[in-house]
């Protein structure tokens, strides 16, 4: 027997303008008006910027002004470079690069919504008919579940930062969601064109972050078809999707083999990066998956776990078997991967959000209220803390809070922007109105259980990216340090041999307009090193350099970092 029994009143869908507004409030803060930040964000921008200002070899061989970056794949960086070419003159190159991230997010959100909508309309997912009628129509039930899945997706804590970075992960998670949607279409109505689209998306996934995950997905889809005894989709996946995926992925591999950019190829290093994702599971990889996955996928996993339990007698239903197969695939790959990085956990979010949506109709009211009160307490406290520290920074009271702000980022000077203040205040008022609506009216709609979780995440992110954006820029950006370094570089000194991280190299090249050694530059008269202040090495230079041949002409670090130390050396005249 189906576990769902509910009236039509519970399937009132969110207005379209509300969904669009939520998505825009989620994605726009963090894309607009900031510098590339330390880490994958600046490194990804560096690859895009290098491609946009380079030639064919730069597009085929991903690198940051001469620093090879063969890992992952070129697709996400191609898209960012195209956006820089098209919109860089209008909105600035960092913002233009992040536009590709925004488009990826919209693709993922639409795919999650439509995938859930198609699953929710299927006969096996429909609620039981009530004795006197009044059960919801299939389309209304599907729309309401889709709204709930999108809210859960937006509320996932692990999605927040990655969906705003210029990295390959933002595109990967969107292509996974798109694959889910197309698989539902294929299993609903097997068609050769749909299978070819799935193959195309799998090929694009190979070009985004390697062939390991797409291969696992393809095997999982074969298993689902076999489990559900659907021979036609199985045949299409074998004879149409697989060849198309190989052709799409092979275009880049053939191109780098034929062109041989810079008399080299990223193929060997790219393949090695893929092979490193295969290891025997150990305690660290398994514990990382579960320990970090709990907060990374909140609030999706409690609803998803309940959905599996509630629908345990209908395990062959597509809305259960397909998301679960994706989760099993990503879980196994996560345990085989010993790299312990957040990118391992990202793929679970789309199937987990879709599965969680089918737990909403069967969730007990007490459990829903517990999640709601948890969200109200946590996010209201977090938003209040953000406001309190901002007021302390603006007024100097409370004094200990104001001092802490400056202590974390020495030299930071606050400023007041009336436009930013109005946006932050309006978002806070909207949050309290949402809480009042949820508590006072006790609505029966299905998505009531997650609207506070997603609304709280959006509120806190918007407050951070409005009130505290200048503070974050000064703390995480390398722009001031790059400009300081550029002033110390002697004129007509040629290239700089750099031993710094990818994000630092990208920031120094973009903000400082520095010319770093490329693939063909062997001899440079300047040397830039990144060291730790805690390091006690007698010789701060790498082994291939002789300290007697170099002299220090500059040393510096970011004011907010007490460990990093950058040193610029000049070769002594012979």
DSSP string of 125-170?
GSPPPPTTS-PPPHHHHHHHHHHHHHHHHHH-HHHHHHTTSSSHHH
Average pLDDT over residues 7-19: 78
527: nearest Cα among 574, 462, 562, 571: 571
pLDDT greater than 70 at residue 134: no
Predicted pLDDT at 535: 65
pLDDT greater than 90 at residue 57: yes
DSSP character at residue 342 = G
Average pLDDT over residues 108-116: 96
Predicted pLDDT at 341: 85
Instruction: Indicate the pTM of the whole model.
Output: 0.95
Residue 574, token pair as written in the block:
């012979």
- The torsion angles phi and psi of 568, rounded to 5 degrees, stand at -105, 125
Average pLDDT over residues 291-305: 92
Give the tens place of pLDDT for each residue, 165-199: 999 999 999 999 999 999 999 999 999 999 999 99
CA distances 417 to 263, 285, 393, 420, 466, Å, are 52, 46, 13, 5, 9
Average pLDDT over residues 116-131: 86
CA distances 262 to 61, 81, 446, Å, are 8, 20, 57
Q: How confident is the model at residue 133 (pLDDT cuts 50, 70, 90)?
A: low
At which residue do the structure tokens 């507004």 appear? Answer: 21
Gap between the Cα atoms of 436 and 376, Å rounded: 10
66: nearest Cα among 491, 492, 486, 521: 521
Predicted pLDDT at 9: 66
DSSP character at residue 446 = T
**Choice among 76-80, 253-257, 514-518 with the minimum mean pLDDT:** 514-518
pLDDT greater than 90 at residue 568: yes
Contact of 503 with 41, CB cutoff 8 Å: yes
Contact of 485 with 566, CB cutoff 8 Å: yes
pLDDT greater than 90 at residue 81: yes
Average pLDDT over residues 253-272: 93
**Choice among 100-109, 141-150, 507-516, 530-539 with the minimum mean pLDDT:** 530-539
Query: Domain coordinates of the chain in residue numbers?
Result: 12-362, 365-476, 479-571
5: nearest Cα among 112, 113, 115, 132: 132
Q: How confident is the model at residue 539 (pLDDT cuts 50, 70, 90)?
A: low
72: nearest Cα among 80, 81, 62: 62
State the CB neighbour count (10 A cutoff) for residue 277. Answer: 19
Gap between the Cα atoms of 561 and 267, Å rounded: 36
Contact of 531 with 82, CB cutoff 8 Å: no
pLDDT greater than 60 at residue 98: yes
pLDDT greater than 80 at residue 310: yes
Average pLDDT over residues 231-241: 96
160: nearest Cα among 451, 380, 458: 458
**Choice among 22-26, 77-81, 248-252 with the minimum mean pLDDT:** 22-26
Residue 238, token pair as written in the block:
């074998």
- From the number of C-beta atoms within 10 Å of its C-beta (0-12, 13-18, 19+), residue 503 rates as buried
pLDDT greater than 70 at residue 574: no
Average pLDDT over residues 361-372: 84
Q: How confident is the model at residue 424 (pLDDT cuts 50, 70, 90)?
A: very high
Gap between the Cα atoms of 571 and 103, Å rounded: 46
Gap between the Cα atoms of 69 and 168, Å rounded: 12
Contact of 100 with 341, CB cutoff 8 Å: no
Average pLDDT over residues 232-241: 96
Average pLDDT over residues 335-348: 90
Contact of 496 with 525, CB cutoff 8 Å: no
Highest mean pLDDT among 217-231, 358-372, 442-456: 217-231
Q: How confident is the model at residue 2 (pLDDT cuts 50, 70, 90)?
A: low
Contacts with 88 (C-beta within 8 Å, 6 or more apart), sequence order? 52, 96
Contact of 172 with 209, CB cutoff 8 Å: yes
pLDDT greater than 60 at residue 132: no
Predicted pLDDT at 212: 96
State the CB neighbour count (10 A cutoff) for residue 394. Answer: 14
pLDDT greater than 60 at residue 217: yes
pLDDT greater than 80 at residue 544: no
Largest Cα–Cα distance of the chain, in whole Å? 97
Average pLDDT over residues 303-322: 91
Q: How confident is the model at residue 572 (pLDDT cuts 50, 70, 90)?
A: confident
pLDDT greater than 90 at residue 10: no
Mean pLDDT computed over every residue of the chain: 91
Gap between the Cα atoms of 350 and 347, Å rounded: 7
Q: How confident is the model at residue 521 (pLDDT cuts 50, 70, 90)?
A: low
- The sign of the CA dihedral 218, 194, 172, 461 is negative
Q: How confident is the model at residue 249 (pLDDT cuts 50, 70, 90)?
A: very high
Predicted pLDDT at 413: 85
Q: Based on C-alpha coordinates, what's the Rg of the chain?
A: 26
Q: How confident is the model at residue 390 (pLDDT cuts 50, 70, 90)?
A: very high
CA torsion 325→331→337→342, rounded to 10°? 110
């Amino acid at each position: 027997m189906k576990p769902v029994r509910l009236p039509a009143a519970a399937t009132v869908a969110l207005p379209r303008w509300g969904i669009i507004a939520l998505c825009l409030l989620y994605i726009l803060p963090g894309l607009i008006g900031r510098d590339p930040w330390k880490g994958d964000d600046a490194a990804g921008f560096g690859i895009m910027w290098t491609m946009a200002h380079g030639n064919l070899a730069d597009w085929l061989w991903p690198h940051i002004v001469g620093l090879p970056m063969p890992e992952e794949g070129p697709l996400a960086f191609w898209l960012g470079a195209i956006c820089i070419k098209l919109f860089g003159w209008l909105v600035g190159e960092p913002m233009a690069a992040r536009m590709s991230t925004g488009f990826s997010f919209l693709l993922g959100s639409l795919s999650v919504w439509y995938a859930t909508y198609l699953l929710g309309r299927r006969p096996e997912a429909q609620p039981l008919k009530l004795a006197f009628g009044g059960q919801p129509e299939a389309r209304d039930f599907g729309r309401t579940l889709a709204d709930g899945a999108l809210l859960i997706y937006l509320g996932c804590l692990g999605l927040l930062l990655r969906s705003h970075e210029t990295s390959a992960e933002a595109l990967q998670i969107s292509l996974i969601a798109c694959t889910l949607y197309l698989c539902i279409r294929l299993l609903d109505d097997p068609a050769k064109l749909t299978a070819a689209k799935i193959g195309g998306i799998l090929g694009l996934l190979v070009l985004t972050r390697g062939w390991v995950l797409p291969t696992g997905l393809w095997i999982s889809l074969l298993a689902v078809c076999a489990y559900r005894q659907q021979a036609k989709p199985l045949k299409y996946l074998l004879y149409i999707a697989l060849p198309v995926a190989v052709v799409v992925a092979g275009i880049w591999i053939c191109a780098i083999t034929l062109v041989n950019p810079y008399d080299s190829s990223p193929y060997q290093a790219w393949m090695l990066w893929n092979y490193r994702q295969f290891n025997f599971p150990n305690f660290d990889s398994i514990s990382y998956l579960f320990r970090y996955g709990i907060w990374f996928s909140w609030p999706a996993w409690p609803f998803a776990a309940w959905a599996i339990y509630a629908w345990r007698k209908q395990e062959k239903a597509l809305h259960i078997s397909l998301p679960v197969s994706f989760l099993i695939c990503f879980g196994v790959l996560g345990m085989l991967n010993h790299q312990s990085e957040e990118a391992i956990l990202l793929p679970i979010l789309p199937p987990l959000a879709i599965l969680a949506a089918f737990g909403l109709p069967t969730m007990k009211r007490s459990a829903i209220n517990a999640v709601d009160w948890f969200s109200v307490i946590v996010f209201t406290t977090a938003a209040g803390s953000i406001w309190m520290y901002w007021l302390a920074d603006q007024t100097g009271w409370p004094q200990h809070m104001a001092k802490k702000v400056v202590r974390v980022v020495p030299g930071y000077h606050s400023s007041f922007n009336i436009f930013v203040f109005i946006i932050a205040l309006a978002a806070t008022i909207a949050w309290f109105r949402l809480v009042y609506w949820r508590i006072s009216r006790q609505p029966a709609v299905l998505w009531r259980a997650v609207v506070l979780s997603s609304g709280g995440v959006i509120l806190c992110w918007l407050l951070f990216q409005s009130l505290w954006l200048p503070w974050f820029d000064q703390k995480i950006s390398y722009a001031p340090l790059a400009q300081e370094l550029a002033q110390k570089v002697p004129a007509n000194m040629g290239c700089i041999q750099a031993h710094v991280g990818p994000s630092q190299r990208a920031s120094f090249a973009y903000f400082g307009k520095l010319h770093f050694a490329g693939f063909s530059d062997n001899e440079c008269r300047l040397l830039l090193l990144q060291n730790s202040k805690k390091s006690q090495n007698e010789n701060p230079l790498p082994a291939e350099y002789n300290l007697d041949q170099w002299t220090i002409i500059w040393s510096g670090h970011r004011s907010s970092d007490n460990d990093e130390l950058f040193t610029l050396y000049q070769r002594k005249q012979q």
